[in-house]
Amino acid sequence: MSQANFKFEKSDRSLMERLFEPPAPGKMSFTGNLVAYALLLFWSAFVLFPIYWVIITSFKDAKIVNEGPYYIPFYDFQPTLDGWRALTIDPDCGPYAFVHQIGVNLYNAFAYLVSPLVTIDRMQPAICKVLLAYQNSLIISIFATALCMIVGSMAAYALARVAYAPKFGNIVMFVILALGSILTSTYAGVHWALATVAALALFFLLARSLGRFFKSTLGNNDILFWIISQRILPPIVVVIPIYMMFQAVGLVDSHLALILVYAVANLPIVVWLMYDFFRSLPIELEESAQLDGATRFGIFWDIVLPLTRPGFAATTLLTLILNWNEYLFAVFLSTAKAQTMPIMIQAKNAGERGTLWWEMSAIIVVMIIPVILMAIFLQRFIAKGVLLGAVKG
Amino acid sequence: MAITTETISQPGALPAGAMQRESWGEWSDRHSRTFFIAPAVTLILVFAIFPTFYSIVFALSRVKFSPNGLVFRFVWFDNFKTQFNGNEQAHFLGRLNSISIFGYVFSAILIAAVLWWYFRALMKSSVVGNIGRLISAAAALGLGLLFAATLLSGNQWGTLLNTLFYVFAGCSIQFVIGTALAFLCSQPIWGKSFFRVIFFIPLMITPLGIGYAWKMILDVTKGPFKPFWEFIGLGGWAWSSDAWAARWFVILGDSWQWIPFIFIVMLAALENVSKDQVEAAQVDGASSVQIFKDITWPQVVPVAATVILIRMIEAFKIVDLPNIMLGGGPGIATESMTLHSVFLWRANNMGDSAAVAYLLLILTVVVCSSFFNYVVLNQLRKAHA
């Protein structure tokens, strides 16, 4: 048997096999290297070219764009700042306006803080659309990420460490009552707030009284699956009812609405990834802390979170980027005051002068700069395979 | 068994029966198991579950605007009937004029294949398993017959098959290229980390930016490839008015963004493959094709199946690229179901909009859970066996 393994000689192999034969284990043949580099360089060009093209187009003007393709700045065209000037052509968009707007925001924040004691009139922020959208995007994505990470990692930690046993009957009851409140408020004309409060009160009453008779329960895995499976839900299914809900409480086109919705949209990802990090931690550390009298919150905050720092950071960055790029919810829920960057870019395109490629490119560059910086930072974690654990299932 | 706060009493606690008002800290710690999970569950109930139920009401009603808000009139499944058999049929399913000979041949083969697949395991699996297989089989049959009646018969197809085209064509292209790149980067070559950073970037860029960037690049009259278009004699050609070119350009933009996702996950999986086995096989004289087929691939297949599933789930939601690149046009050629629903909403047709959204939800759940049950679970079982 062992002789058969050593039987074949070089001449038995085809040309292809000889070309790609590694000189030693763990090395690559010259031809193999050549092909690999050719493919990798081709793909790098494919990836980088659109970004390069957007950047150079932002330094062109109408004439240069319309006369035909020019590829290299200073060599075949003279770069101009037309696209960038268009961003600041609005009198509210200069450097002075920028500082002014920061001041106005600080003033408004102060006015909000002291509002229980003294009422101070808020100042209207300047209406530089680009700046406003940029600021909205920053506020919304940062707060939504923070909310999502706090809520999501707490839930993930609890699911990894505490045994839950929600009763099946209670869940069925909740669903029936929720449907009842929806149906009465839409078809029977009951006010939605009344229907909701009545249904909730009835649920707690029944869960306390009837709940004792229900026997079958669900486990942690069911809850985890339920939370993660929310990611399958296409946003378009929920966005119209969410719009109606926010309209009912007067929150359409507000930061809060977008923050809440973005946080929920990314909650499944956070719970899924963080659950895996928490589960892989040794439980002994937490047990000894508990014996020393630490509270659950203390254990979570002081011991568990610092231990999962790489995973936590990677998940935060991922969520931040997803929030920064979100499109569909913003289309429905932000019209003017809370308009985010994607919506502003789209509105810019629909101007009466047709698409102004140089302006558009400048805005896109502004929008992707922070994201590319984050990508390079996130790369450190990706290289470690931080996110692989969850995918392996 | 996980620890719960109730099971451990504090050392130095007061003897039983001693009355003491517990502090806020103690009270919150005693209920910490509720506080940890309640925010997440509440958020999901309010912003995902409740709207999903509410959406049923929209989908089953004719919604009218009135000064006091919306007025709902219950119409059973009329909105769904409109999509399948009414005046939205051409938009949603496509034009079902006449079925060609290819269509009939394909339908016959498909029916035979689905029946064989269903009855092969009829006796072996449980009742729930059989119901699941029945749903999957019915979905495959319905979509396949629709495919035969539209594309194979030379008729235009609608947003339903557009969405499936983005999902299946997009995912397979992205998976093949992403895995190939990951395989190249897992080889012992110099400058790996450089390529890794570069390849990772598109995933982070906003789909809107990608849409505009590709729109500029593919422009025939002003784009960078103008000399090339003129050279092959397509100087005056507008790809945005050709249905298939437009669809493939959407796939191009989508792939540019999502190949990095497949790439990073598959790269991590490939680097987890044990080096010893590969080198031992090399010493034994196995060719690189054999090594890949028999050693590397079986170890990464579970990750591959999972990553395709994740990608599929996201691909069903596609809306921004077709909207930005072409506004769903030419005609309805690149309109996905989400975009279809958005357009119906803009036309104040909320009932139909919700019905299309619900059909998308059903389609996503059926396709993804079929894929999960018959592909991902199988691979995971094989890997653990």
Q: Is A357 on the interface with B (CB under 8 A)?
A: yes
Closest Cβ opposite residue A71 in set B224, B288, B310 = B224
Average model confidence (pLDDT) for chain B? 85
Average pLDDT over residues B208-237: 83
Residues of B in Cβ contact (< 8 Å) with A44: 195, 198-199
Q: List pLDDT tens digits, range A294-328.
A: 888 888 888 888 888 888 888 898 899 889 989 99
- In percent, the amount of chain B with pLDDT more than 90 equals 31
Residue bearing the bigger pLDDT, A263 or A337: A263
3-state secondary structure chain A: CHHHHCCCCHHHCCHHHHHCCCCCCCCCCHHHHHHHHHHHHHHHHHHHHHHHHHHHHCCCCHHHHHCCCCCCECCCECCCCHHHHHHCCCHHHCHHHHHHHHHHHHHHHHHHHHCCCCCCCCCCCCCCHHHHHHHHHHHHHHHHHHHHHHHHHHHHHHHHHCCCCCEHHHHHHHHHHHHHHHHHHHHCCCCHHHHHHHHHHHHHHHHHHHHHHCCCECCHHHHHHHHHHHHHCCHHHHHHHHHHHHHHCCCCCCHHHHHHHHHHHHHHHHHHHHHHHHHCCCCHHHHHHHHCCCCHHHHHHHHHHHHCHHHHHHHHHHHHHHHHHCCHHHHHHCCCCCCCHHHHHHHHHCCCCCCCHHHHHHHHHHHHHHHHHHHHHHHHHHHCCCCHHHHHC
pLDDT in tens, B333-362: 899 999 999 999 989 888 999 999 999 999
Distance CA B157, CA B335 (A): 11
Strand partners, B66: B69
Q: Give yes or no for residue A251 having a pLDDT over 70.
A: yes
CB B253 within 8 A of CB B247: no
For chain A, state the CA radius of gyration: 28
CB distance A349 to B264 below 8 Å: no
Q: What is the pLDDT of residue B331?
A: 83
Q: What is the mean pLDDT of residues B193-215?
A: 87
Q: Is the CB of residue B379 less than 8 Å from the CB of residue B302?
A: yes
| pLDDT of B306 over the 70 cut | yes
Query: Residue B279 and residue A25: Cβ atoms within 8 Å?
Result: yes
Minimum-distance CB partner of B51 among A54, A241, A368: A241
- The answer, yes or no, to whether residue B310 has pLDDT greater than 50, is yes
Question: Token pair 């009259």 is at which residue?
Answer: B221
Query: Residue B13 pLDDT > 70, yes or no?
Result: no
| Residue A26 pLDDT | 63
Q: Please name which of A180, A201, A196 lies closest in space to residue A248, comparing C-alpha atoms.
A: A196
At A2 the pLDDT is: 43
Q: Quote the percentage of chain B above a pLDDT of 70.
A: 94
The pTM of this model reads: 0.87
* Other beta carbons within 10 Å of A2: 5
Which pLDDT score is estimated for A90? 61
pLDDT at B5: 43
Q: Which H or E element spans position B63?
A: strand B61-66
Asked if B28 reaches chain A (Cβ–Cβ under 8 Å), the answer is: yes
pLDDT at B2: 45
Q: Which CATH architecture has domain A128-163+242-393?
A: Orthogonal Bundle (1.10)
pLDDT-derived band of residue B153, with 50, 70 and 90 as boundaries? confident
Burial of B84 (0-12, 13-18, 19+ CB in 10 A): middle
Residues of chain A with Cβ-Cβ distance to B361 below 8 Å are 233-234, 237
B residues 3-22 near A, CB within 8 Å? Answer: 3-5, 8, 10-11
Q: Which of A18, A237, A303, A348 to mutate to test the interface with B (most CBs of B within 10 A)?
A: A237
Is the CB of B255 inside 8 Å of chain A's CB atoms?
no
Domain ranges (residues) in chain A: 128-163+242-393
**Which of chain B's residues have a Cβ under 8 Å away from the Cβ of A30?**
none
| pLDDT > 80? residue A271 | yes
Average pLDDT over residues B295-304: 88
d(CA B10, CA B23): 14
Q: What mean pLDDT do residues B180-199 have?
A: 86
Interface test with B, best of A236, A266, A325, A382 (most B CBs within 10 A): A236
Q: How far is B139 from chain A (nearest CA, A)?
A: 18
Q: Residues of B numbered 291-320 whose beta carbons fall under 8 angstroms of chain A's beta carbons: which are they? A: 302-303, 306-307, 310, 313, 316-317, 319-320
Whether A111 shows a pLDDT value over 90: the answer reads no
pLDDT beyond 60 at A7: no
Average of pLDDT values for B83-90?
85
CA of A118 vs chain B CAs: smallest distance (Å): 31
Chain B CA closest to residue A34: B189
Chain A closest CA to B57's CA: distance in Å?
Answer: 8
- Asked if the model's pLDDT at residue B297 lies above 50, the reply is yes
Of A100-104, A331-335, B117-121, B267-271, the poorest mean pLDDT is in A100-104
CB pairs under 8 A between A and B: 320
Amino acid at A139: I
Band (pLDDT 50/70/90 cuts) for residue B65 is confident
Distances (CA, A) of B1 to A386, B195, B301: 27, 45, 33
3 state DSSP class of B314:
helix
Closest residue on chain B to A65 (Cα) = B222
- Of residues B327 and B47, more confidently modeled: B47
> What residue spans define the domains of chain B?
96-155, 156-384
CATH superfamily to which B156-384 belongs: MetI-like (1.10.3720.10)
